[in-house]
Amino acid sequence: MCGRLSQYRGIHEFVKTLSMPDAWRNAVGDRALLRYNVAPGTPVAVLRREAAGSRADLVKWGWRPHWATAPVTPVNARAEKVAHGPYFRSIWPHRAVVPVDGWFEWVDEGAAKKQPYFIRRRDGHPALCAAIGQFSDNERDGFVIITADAQGGLVDVHDRRPVVLSAQLAVAWMAPDLPSEAAEQMALGLGEPAERFEWYRVGMAVGNARNQGAELIQPLP
Active-site positions read 2, 105
Which residues does 170 contact at the CB level (< 8 Å), separation at least 6?
Answer: 18, 97, 128, 130
**How many residues are there in the chain?**
221
State the virtual CA torsion across 102, 10, 92, 104 in degrees, nearest 10: 20
Which residues does 51 contact at the CB level (< 8 Å), separation at least 6?
Answer: 176
Nearest CA-CA partner of 157 in 195, 219, 188, 115: 115
